[in-house]
Amino acid sequence: MEDKVEHSSENNFKKIVKKEPAKYFAKHPLRGVARLGSKQYGLVVDQKDEKSKTYDRLYFDLNGNGDLTDDTPIDVADDQKDAAGRNVSSQFPRVDLTIDVDGKKLDYSFFFNAGSQHWGKNHWISASLSPAVYGRGEITLDGQSRKIAVLDFNSNGRFDDRITLPKNIHDEEGGLYPQFGDVLLIDPQKVSPSDFQRYYESNEHRKFLSKLLNIAGKYYEVKVSPVGDRLTWTPSVVSFGKISSPHAPCSMTLMGENGFLSLKLEKSEPAEVPAGQWRLLSYELQVKDWKKP
């Protein structure tokens, strides 16, 4: 007799989904649950027929009733394969639905991507959901109008998630691993694609949502509504300290109870930091005229 171990994700799918299609064509259909706003939605990634060699059909419980058979299946919009055909990425068309966020209705959209990799006898399957909507508006800081945008960066249908530092999550070497929330863009037209390549860093125009944000050298307490339609700014009254490094110029990222900071330290000028306990996430030295040993 063989024991079967069920993962928590499988149990969650069974709780959410009460009815599935009578037949799947993929040998290993990918079942999952996506949390959007205040509700969880069941989904399955499958093949649309026996001839298909990719994961090109998505069953998504758009009406949230636990039945995957009464929503029209979503077929892939574009497949990308490498030369050997081992890596396949399937991009599905934009999906629109209305979700509930703390009792308030929100028109939401997302993109869905499924990928598969084949290496010998090994076969990996993955899927991801990314938002196709954002909130935007204008604020006035020091008498100057600034355009802003709020991104559902962690793809859960909310816009008010702050970056946090769970105590039980770390990398293999024990390093800190933050749980990223949502992102605020200041003057979005000035944000470049490279700003998103360095995942850990925030800068003048791209901020991880946290209790305190440094904008143009001043700190503000920031709150965003769950559906991203309202944002409030309050000048912070917290006291400050200063931080310096004997190895400056250098860059570092800090995280504490007041938020997430990316700092650039110069030898002649210590950086101002809100008072409190901070933990070092990353540290980068700038070395000139370095020669390989």
- Read off φ and ψ for residue 9, nearest 5 degrees: -65, -35
Contacts of 61 (CB under 8 A, 6+ apart): 16, 17, 41, 42, 43, 67, 68, 71
Sheet (strand 212-215) strand order: 212-215, 218-224, 231-235
Q: Which residue has the tokens 């009792």?
A: 103
**What three-state secondary structure class fits 161?**
coil
Whole-model pTM? 0.85
Residue pair 95/72 in contact (Cβ under 8 Å)? The answer is no
Q: Is the peptide bond between 249 and the residue preceding it cis, with omega within 30 degrees of 0?
A: yes
Over residues 218-276, the pLDDT tens digits come to 889 999 999 999 999 899 998 989 888 888 888 888 998 888 888 888 887 888 899 88
Tokens encoding 225: 């509504």
Measure the CA–CA gap between 118 and 28, rounded to whole angstroms: 13
pLDDT at residue 64, as a whole number: 94
Phi and psi at residue 187, to the nearest 5°: 55, 70
| Cβ contact 105:98 at 8 Å | yes
Which tens digit of pLDDT belongs to each residue from 169-186? 666 777 778 888 999 999
Which ranges in the chain belong to alpha helices (H)? 8-16
Q: Is the pLDDT of residue 85 over 50?
A: yes
Mean pLDDT of the chain: 87
What digits encode the pLDDT tens for the residues 205-218?
899 999 999 888 88
Place of tokens 């991104």: 151
